[in-house]
Homo-oligomer: A and B are copies of this chain.
């Protein structure tokens, strides 16, 4: 098999990474994509750095065993805490979602503007976005705010229910009108964009890393001569638990027809 014919591996703690998968599928129609969702251990964002690191390495080794040509960590928590360690065990390029998200925010922000990073507790505690945003010539000010209930709300399919708006107000009302840019620093959060935007008000631009991460992946493949343009790519979905529920929510929330979802238990 030619290197360019190999699949791309993508993983997330659950189904949030499907926002990245969807962008990737639309940008790279010729690629084979293998998506892994760690539904037995979701959520990652309230767990310790050690646990997230151990889970991420286990999944990466599993996907590397599938002869992938690129590994995309489509989970902000895992990208914040495990990217360097995954790179140590990976013979292929490993991309995360923090850098692309930070770059999108910097593009959208005015000089000296204010960027509010939202994410899981683990992502916020890691301060990975603050590091990625530091030192830019635009000299933005950065605040980070953990919103731990957003992932369970999305996993429950309640993206437009009153509870989602109330939770968004609880976390974000103090920042209304005070941020130029808000980063959706979790791949689940684009599904809550409407309520988040409503709480923040019209002045705040909302950016997410899904599109930017997918563009970065294409760029990486082009520069390494690994792009697969030859045919219609296949999509494969694997989860660590409850495949039927995954399949149902993938369709309900993102319109993705996952078909037969395989199970790999750790």
Contacts and interface: CB of A to CB of B under 8 A. Distances in A.
Most buried by B among A47, A155, A161: A47
Contact of A41 (B41, B50, B54, B148): B41
Interface in A148-166: 148-149, 152-153, 155-156, 158, 161-163, 166
Interface string A41-77: 1000011101100100000000000000000000000
Contacts of A241: 47-48, 50-51
Contact of A163 (B47, B170, B242): B170
Contact of A158 (B47, B149, B156): B149
B148 A156 contact: yes
A3 to B, nearest CB: 36
A2 interface: no
Contacts of A198: none
Given A48-B242, A51-B241, A241-B47, A163 B167 contact: yes
A174 to B, nearest CB: 15
Contact of A242 (B40, B46, B152): B46
B166 A245 contact: no
A47 B51 contact: no
A161 B170 contact: yes
B46 A40 contact: no
Nearest to A121: B245
Interface residues of A, number: 27
Interface in A163-198: 163, 166-167, 170
Contacts of A163: 149, 163, 166-167, 170
A39 interface: yes
A231 interface: no
Nearest to A168: B163
A265 interface: yes
Given A46-B242, A46-B245, A166-B166, A51 B152 contact: no
B47 A242 contact: yes
Nearest to A158: B149
Contacts of A149: 152-153, 156, 158, 163
Interface in A220-266: 240-242, 245, 265
A190 to B, nearest CB: 19
19 contacts: A39-B47, A40-B41, A40-B51, A41-B41, A46-B242, A46-B245, A47-B241, A47-B242, A48-B241, A48-B242, A50-B241, A54-B265, A148-B152, A149-B152, A149-B153, A149-B158, A152-B152, A158-B170, A163-B167
